[in-house]
Structure 1
Amino acid sequence: MTYKINALGKLIFGVALATAGLAAQAAPEGKVKIGFMLPYTGTYAALGNAITNGFKQYVAENGGKLAGREIEYYTVDDESDPAKATENANKLVKRDKVDVLVGTVHSGVALAMAKVARENKTLLIVPNAGADEITGPLCAANVFRSSFSAWQPAYAMGQVVAQKGMKKVVTVTWKYSFGLQSVEGFKEAFEKSGGKVVKDMTLPFPNVEFQPFLTEIAALKPDAVFVFFAGAGAAKFVKDYTAAGLKNSIPLYGPGFLTDGNLDAMGEAGKGVQTTLHYADGLDNKKDAAFRLGYVKAYKMQPDVYAVQGYDAAQLYQAGLSAAAGDAAKQDVVIKGMEAARIDSPRGAFTLSRAHNPVQDIYLREVQGGQNKVLSTAVKALADPARGCKI
């Protein structure tokens, strides 16, 4: 009898140990390592800081944790330099052994990051760079985007311009990947609807000598002009276009990067310019109101689309971590959780396509009173075609 009791005691003790082991697995210890590879100096520094602020705001709203796990941040300034991208990404992946890479703004840098992520089977969330390839031929199970593809806002504007009854359009952009992809997205929608692009004009990046192009536009007399420019170049183009007397007779359109962050520099010249993007001022949803309030309180400035994309990168990772009960090492489960997520974003709720790109509303905005005010939803739940993606 004594032997049986001892055996039973051992059995109970063994079950208790096994249960404790399962509990330990269910609640892994240590911090989840987040690797930010973003521009913190140079032309795109403000964008890198906004993305970082947005990500950290969501974590702060959740008590400094994601899926119950404390967070540790590792940061590398990518300097928007593709030549340094592989080395910088490897610092975070191989030296710091981060659980997830978050970056970046510059598409050339992001393409190199995606290559490192694929080779090392590290999770990557792209919170801005819109190169179509990332969710196209270079897509991968462990690569996600919380922003947009170059195609999305440009395609939406192609539909808008066609619906306005425009028949002949001229396009102008810098001759580099993102600009050319934007023009192609616009042309696809516009020409499908019966319009015709009568002239594609390009100039080397970052050249801002626009006068010869403005002279030719005046001579061609198109119904409208579609452009992709961003930053200081965008502000100068809008000011030069207005100064040439073209804006009142030939409407100017573009994706939202034409005016986002540039309204002060454009001044009165920007008034009335219409753009398409997945975020806008004046959206009527509670999530955006709460997000803006929290951002202003934390950072003493208004958020922009880049802050939203950082915020949603954190939301997306939280969805994956929660599916894995906080265990970042269970990458397959984390990925499935992210794929199935419905993100309650300040931009409006979105899901992910099979290529891991947001399926999202694209808004038509107009520059009014120093804001990119929403006029309407140009296209509901627009999914990037993900051409060439094999996952």
Structure 2
Amino acid sequence: MIIPNAGVSAATGSLCSPNIFRTSFSSWQPSYPMGNVALEKGYKDVYLISWNYGMGRESLEAFEESFRAGGGNVVKKVLLPFPSTNFQPHISDIAAQEPDAVFVFFAGGGATKFVMDYDAMGLRGKIPLLGSGFLTEGTLEAQGEAAEGIITTLHYAEQLDVPKNKEFREAFKTEYGHYPDIYAVQGYDAGLAIVNTINQLNGDVSDKQAVIDTMAKLTINSPRGDFTFSRAHNPVQNIYLREVMDGVNVVTGIAAEALEDPARGCNL
């Protein structure tokens, strides 16, 4: 079983299994490095907000883990019922609390509305907005100028300076008429894991254990940069620091190099 997107930590944690591989991320991976980034930027008091579901809770917990370990203080932690987008009362509360920064997990339409509400209530440029990279992934066009200056961490960025990325993006656009996003990259890498495993076994996949052992040792030449699999079969990968500039997620550094999910509860 290959997971090309879902971030639920248990899949490569307490519910890990030899035959389960993931080519995407654990929910812990994109958010954990941002705690250290916040501290490096001098943010001591941070306000957290997300939806009250698995990805939201796990993302905030990952940020808290590194942020608190470095001496950071969580001013307030808000978990909204999913999929509520009634953000205005909470943004007003953020303005009243005056934290050094805000860290969020939102994606899709919710991410777009939060960013636009945050800007509309005058907080953009006053209280820095940080997030797991899905806040600005596939949402920038809709968010427009309201997204400018948002800082996120993710395992990919469209303009990542990796030779494989440039090649992949042009080939994808030729095939489908538009450029790929992170979800396309993860799907492509799932395909690579299958093809490379089959090729190394000369097409003979009759031995299940041989398939598992071969896949576990792969290095995937991904558009996000090369990655390997951890003992729990989660990608060991770079997490990039990104800032929205002129409507683009610009990579400004590597927030965590070859980051391995802790795979808590996995006994492989």
TM-score w.r.t. structure 2 length? 0.98
Q: What is the rounded CA distance, in whole Å, between the counterparts of 1:167 and 1:140 in structure 2?
A: 39
4+ aligned runs moved over 4 Å, structure 1: none
Q: Tell me the residue number matched to 2:236.
A: 359
Q: Tell me the residue number matched to 1:303.
A: 180
Give 5+ residue unaligned stretches, structure 1: 1-123
| Residue from 70, 79, 85 that aligns with 1:193 | 70
Give 5+ residue unaligned stretches, structure 2: none
Q: Tell me the residue number matched to 2:51.
A: 174
Q: Tell me the residue number matched to 2:16.
A: 139
Q: Does 1:290 align with 2:170?
A: no
Q: Tell me the residue number matched to 1:314.
A: 191
Q: Is the 8 A contact 2:145 2:247 kept in 1?
A: no
Q: Tell me the residue number matched to 1:242.
A: 119
Report the AA paired with residue 275 of structure 1. T
Q: Is the 8 A contact 2:152 2:241 kept in 1?
A: yes
Larger radius of gyration: 1
Q: Does 1:224 align with 2:64?
A: no
Report the AA paired with residue 131 of structure 1. V
| Residue from 258, 262, 265 that aligns with 2:135 | 258
Q: Is the 8 A contact 1:174 1:203 kept in 2?
A: yes
* Alignment coverage as a number of residue pairs: 268
Over residues 263-290 of structure 1, what are the superposed CA-to-partner deviations in whole Å (9 max), with x where a residue is unaligned?
1111110111111000013222211111
Deviation at 1:366, TM superposition (A): 1.2
After the TM superposition, which residues 349-388 of structure 1 pair with which residues of structure 2 at under 5 Å, given as runs? 349-388=226-265
Q: Which moved more, 1:322-331 or 1:216-225?
A: 322-331
Q: Is the 8 A contact 1:130 1:147 kept in 2?
A: yes
TM-score w.r.t. structure 1 length? 0.68
Report 1 or 2 for greater relative contact order, CA contacts < 8 Å, sequence distance ≥ 6.
Answer: 2
Q: What is the rounded CA distance, in whole Å, between the counterparts of 1:331 and 1:322 in structure 2?
A: 15
Q: What is the rounded CA distance, in whole Å, between the counterparts of 1:282 and 1:309 in structure 2?
A: 16
Q: Tell me the residue number matched to 1:19.
A: none
After the TM superposition, which residues 1-391 of structure 1 pair with which residues of structure 2 at under 5 Å, given as runs? 124-391=1-268
Give the percent of matched residue pairs that are identical in Structure 1 and Structure 2.
Answer: 54
RMSD: 0.9
Q: What is the rounded CA distance, in whole Å, between the counterparts of 1:306 and 1:281 in structure 2?
A: 11
Q: What is the rounded CA distance, in whole Å, between the counterparts of 1:366 and 1:376 in structure 2?
A: 10
Q: What is the rounded CA distance, in whole Å, between the counterparts of 1:184 and 1:256 in structure 2?
A: 16
Q: What is the rounded CA distance, in whole Å, between the counterparts of 2:161 and 2:111 in structure 1?
A: 28
Q: Is the 8 A contact 1:324 1:330 kept in 2?
A: no
More helix by share: 1
Q: What is the rounded CA distance, in whole Å, between the counterparts of 1:247 and 1:187 in structure 2?
A: 23
